[in-house]
Amino acid sequence: SLCAAGEPNLSYQELKDLKKASVLHIDVRERWEIDRFGKIPESINIPLGELMEALQMDPTEFKEQYNQKMPSKSDPVVFSCLAGTRSKQALGFAMSLGFS
């Protein structure tokens, strides 16, 4: 599994390869950015400001809100944004909640 200490940045090709496996891709850009720049296929949008709350939701509520199974703390998750700053923050948030 990928860990922030091991490889915090992924290339586009590495992400494509990971998505062939069952990795959850969370795009932490704002909704207006998705509308303006486009959605990344097979990603779910959880803006950074909602992420801490989302990762602590009841799994049923998460599924209803984001139309996706809530990740367990050991599931592989990849965060993305526009430049890398918010995705790095998202990784820190997830790790602080016990995600590996």
Q: Specify whether 3 is catalytic.
A: no
Could you give the CA distance from residue 22 to residue 4 in angstroms, rounded to a whole number? Answer: 18
From the list 81, 90, 91, 94, the catalytic residue is 81
The CA distance from 7 to 88, in Å, is 12
Residue 57 DSSP class: S
Catalytic residue numbers, as ranges:
81
